[in-house]
Amino acid sequence: MVVSSQPQHLFADVLARVRAVCAAELGAGVDLSRVVVEPPKDSSHGDMATNAAMVLAKEAKAKPRDLAEQIAARLRGDDLIASADVAGPGFINLTLKPSAWSDALRSVLRDGDAYGRSAMGAAEKVNVEYVSANPTGPMHVGHCRGAVFGDALASLLVVAGYDVAREYYINDAGAQVDVLARSAFLRYREALGEEIGAIPDGLYPGDYLKPVGLALAAEYGGALNQMPEERWLPIARAKAIAMMMEEIKGDLAALNISQDVFFSERSLIDGATDQVAATIEFLRAKGDVYEGRLQPPKGAPVEDYEDREQTLFRATAYGDDVDRPLKKSDGGYTYFASDIAYHKSKFDRGFHNLVDVWGADHGGYVKRVEAAIKAVTSGKATLDVKIVQLVRLLRSGEPVKMSKRSGDFVTLREVVDEVGKDAVRFMML
């Protein structure tokens, strides 16, 4: 067998050889896409294992173990493979010759940072959205895994030849940022010398908002105190969000993470065009939005169920379990409606490959967003949602709760400063 002179990842090289043997054994028309090569669960079984015979047996009209013996016999003649042993119902365990490892090491040393790079992605555009923590305070350690995983995934895609945009979705619309604004306004009054007492329930009590109060006092003096809430609230909100985002960017930089795009949720509705309304009308014209009443949920209650006539997205036409509300009873948009418009904006910006990194608490949200993307892109875009477990931090053996609302959390920066960014990134991955 001819060995490519170009450096290749060793697993990719072996996979190519296994697939070539299968094609020679079964014919060029056989579907080899399910054939994989991976480390065996027990390292004593060899260096690598392949499922080739297991996934091709039906197509070959042979018993998996018999087919495995045929494939293994051919692989034993490969100049990279020392042994090929059939195990169990038809797995093939492979042991490589020592020269395979020394040659791979030489490639690593020779190519340095270029090792493993490829043009596989052909400069195709990919949007990877990760972190996207609410801008209501500094990043706490609970956000850490999604940040590191998303950044590492984006880097791998770059190395594989894709044109990657790293994106952060700023949730700067909705009730939580109005709570942030009221909390910052309280700190503004404190900065002016007023005795504010205990922070009322429902507001953010953390000291991290004191600098926001000081900045508002320095810029506006006592003028905000003379305004009604409808005037001072957007001012306080904008200042608080801007300062929180600067802090979040600093927290991410401490982990050696930087993103290319920071997309504002509020921009969807505050720009020259209400993009959420436009998206709803776009879907309505396709027959995917209608006015109707949802059936009461069976079993466990559904969080967004309301027994009323309402604007609904026909999500069931695209694989979801139920149709989904787009407007709340007060006429405002649901979070889902904004998410549809946001993902449509990614498609409109030229991205057909979308990757979202979400926390495990959002797992139930996947099907409806996948349905929405099929609808707004007519199936031209794909969404790949990566679910990562949140981080659990223990102090003296007891879990530490992570709540910005209570002010009781450990910041990401504290952990990075204590153990170093490389240790944090390694642990999260």
Which tens digit of pLDDT belongs to each residue from 214-264? 999 999 999 999 999 999 999 999 999 999 999 999 999 999 999 999 999
Three-state SS annotation for 382-393: EEEEEEECCCCC
Mean pLDDT of 350-373: 95
Mean pLDDT of 180-205: 95
- What homologous superfamily does CATH list for 10-114? Arginyl tRNA synthetase N-terminal domain (3.30.1360.70)
Instruction: Write down the pLDDT at residue 155.
Output: 97
Instruction: Write down the pLDDT at residue 426.
Output: 95
Residue 102: HSE in the Cβ half-sphere, 13 Å Cα cutoff: 3
Residues 282-334: pLDDT tens digits?
999 999 999 999 888 776 566 667 788 999 999 999 999 999 999 998 999 99
The fraction of the chain above a pLDDT of 90, given in percent, is 77
In whole angstroms, give the CA distance from residue 103 to residue 91: 26
In whole angstroms, give the CA distance from residue 348 to residue 352: 9
| Cβ atoms 180, 144 nearer than 8 A | no
In whole angstroms, give the CA distance from residue 213 to residue 208: 10
Instruction: Write down the pLDDT at residue 219.
Output: 97
DSSP state of 333: B
Residue 7 has pLDDT above 50, yes or no: no
Indicate the length of the chain as a whole number: 429
Instruction: Write down the pLDDT at residue 399.
Output: 81
User: How high is the mean pLDDT of the chain?
Assistant: 91
Mean pLDDT of 16-32: 91
pLDDT band at 84 (very low <50, low <70, confident <90, very high): very high
- At residue 104, φ and ψ (nearest 5 deg) are -65, -40
Q: Which strands sit side by side in the sheet containing 310-313, from one edge to the other?
A: 289-292, 310-313, 324-325
Which one has a higher pLDDT value, 165 or 308?
Answer: 165
In whole angstroms, give the CA distance from residue 366 to residue 362: 7
Q: Do the strands 353-359 and 125-129 form a parallel or antiparallel pair, or are they unpaired?
A: parallel
In whole angstroms, give the CA distance from residue 241 to residue 80: 57
| Cβ atoms 371, 318 nearer than 8 A | yes
Residue 174, phi-psi category: left (phi > 0), alpha (psi -120 to 50), beta (remainder): left
Top mean pLDDT of 110-124, 232-246, 413-427 is at 232-246
In whole angstroms, give the CA distance from residue 7 to residue 112: 11
- Per 3-state DSSP, the chain is made up of helix, strand and coil in percentages (nearest 5) of 50, 15, 35
Q: Do the strands 163-170 and 261-264 form a parallel or antiparallel pair, or are they unpaired?
A: parallel
The CATH T-level fold of domain 126-162+256-388 is Rossmann fold (3.40.50)
Two structure tokens written together for 317: 């036409």
Instruction: Write down the pLDDT at residue 400.
Output: 75
One-letter amino acid identity for 126?
V
| Cβ atoms 333, 326 nearer than 8 A | yes
Residue 6 has pLDDT above 60, yes or no: no
In whole angstroms, give the CA distance from residue 83 to residue 72: 9
| Cβ atoms 177, 241 nearer than 8 A | yes
Q: Which residue has the tokens 């904006």?
A: 345
Give ∠ CA 274-355-342 in degrees, rounded to 5.
5
Using only C-alpha atoms, the chain has a radius of gyration, in whole angstroms, of 27
Which one has a higher pLDDT value, 50 or 404?
Answer: 50
Give domain limits for the chain.
Answer: 10-114, 126-162+256-388
Instruction: Write down the pLDDT at residue 2.
Output: 34
